[in-house]
Amino acid sequence: MKSILENRPELTRRVEEVAEVAGYLWQKGWAERNGGNITINITACVDDDIRRMPPISDPIPFGMTLPRLKGCYFFCKGTNRRMRDLARRPMENGSVIRILDDGASYEIVADEPVRPTSELASHLAMHEQMIASGNGYTAAIHTHPINLVAMSHNRAFLGKDTLTRLLWSMIPETRAFCPKGLGIVPYAMPSSVELARATVRELAEYDVVLWEKHGVCAVGPDVMQAFDQIDVLAKSADIYLSARAMGFEPEGMTDAQMDELKEAFGL
């Protein structure tokens, strides 16, 4: 069977980038079994031939109405698929979907009828918000970083920007490369519309949000940059936990040191 990627170098590059990041998520230990998901908006690489491709599924409602997504195309990790399998064989463990004119349902167009991620509602809501804000972002990642999820079990960390300031203060790069910090989404049922709505509310202010006792979601111009933001936050969390494991509370950079950084990097 012919793949939708054939003779489409830009689409191929973007799907390969998803596969590369999927491999990192697995290697980091953030993607047990089918945990986590990735979606990218590929509408800009869609040509007329793709627009004419017949669906290979019935229309499937995704539980929300997102009018800006009408006629958009996404490459999505499949539900119940392993991240480590997405890394090696992206087109067997993910699929391309088209959002229908009702803005509330989708159909699968290629390569195989792989049903998209269980967190599709959250992912599509994030994409709608990125389009609405005009920020040019195309990627959304959800993953389960051990250290950040562990920190979300401590109520003391869940106040607005408490964790942001703590993580920023562990190493200068974190503030430089995750300048908006980390939003907090109170526990909600996985895959729920409630979780999707709360995620989008936080993304108005942050590029990365922590789902209490579950995981993180990050958005970015591309999937690599979305990953980098989670990676720098997780590095800070590791430094904090290493210090605690050595038996002391890390001092953290001072507010003055962090403000100096803000000036220097124009954050």
Q: 155, 164, 148, 149: which is closest to 213 by C-alpha?
A: 149
Q: Which two tokens stand for residue 247?
A: 């038996």
Range 169-208, binding ligand 2HA (CB under 6 A): 190
Nearer Cβ to ligand 2HA (98/142)? 142
Beta carbon nearer to ligand 2HA, 19 or 253: 19
Residue (103 or 145) nearer to Zn ion, CB: 145
- Contact with Zn ion (CB under 5 A) among 215, 237, 240, 252: 215
Q: Does the protein bind ligand 2HA through residue 34 (CB under 6 A)?
A: yes
Q: What is the DSSP letter of 248?
A: S
When CB distances to Zn ion are compared, the closest residue is: 215
Interface segment toward ligand 2HA; rule CB under 6 A; list 111-119, 127-135, 173-181, 231-239: 111-119
Piece of the chain touching ligand 2HA by CB under 6 A; list 101-109, 113-121, 147-155, 257-265: 113-121
Nearest to 254 by CA among 162, 160, 169: 169
Helix H or strand E segment including 185: strand 182-185
Q: What is the CA radius of gyration of the chain?
A: 19
Q: Is 114 helix (H, G, I), strand (E, B) or coil?
A: coil
CA-to-CA distance for 184 and 182, rounded, in angstroms? 7
Strand partners, 38: 141
Question: Is 20 designated active site?
Answer: no
Query: Which token pair is 229?
Result: 């933001």
Asked if 145 is part of the footprint of Zn ion (rule: CB under 5 A), the reply reads no
Going residue by residue from 45 to 84, which x/- string records binding to ligand 2HA, judged by CB under 6 A? ----------------------------------------
Least distance in angstroms from the C-beta of 263 to ligand 2HA: 39
Listed in sequence order, the DSSP H helices in the chain are 9-27, 48-51, 83-88, 120-133, 146-151, 162-168, 172-177, 193-203, 223-245, 255-265
34 vs 169, which CB is nearer to Zn ion?
34
- Dist CA 50 CA 21 (whole Å): 25
Number of residues that bind ligand 2HA (CB under 6 A): 9
Q: Which is nearer to Zn ion, 78 or 215 (CB)?
A: 215
- Annotated catalytic residue within 16, 32, 107, 119: 119
Restricting to residues 115-174, name those near ligand 2HA by CB under 6 A.
117-119, 142
φ and ψ at residue 154, rounded to 5 degrees = -105, 110
Q: How many residues does the chain have?
A: 267
By beta-carbon proximity to ligand 2HA, the closer residue of 170 and 230 is 230
User: Per CB under 5 A, does 90 bind Zn ion?
Assistant: no
Give the side-chain half-sphere CA count within 13 A for 246. 8
Among residues 4, 25, 30, 37, which is the contact residue for ligand 2HA, using CB under 6 A? 37
Residues with catalytic annotation? Answer: 119
Question: Where along the sequence are the contacts to ligand 2HA (CB under 6 A)?
Answer: 34-37, 117-119, 142, 190
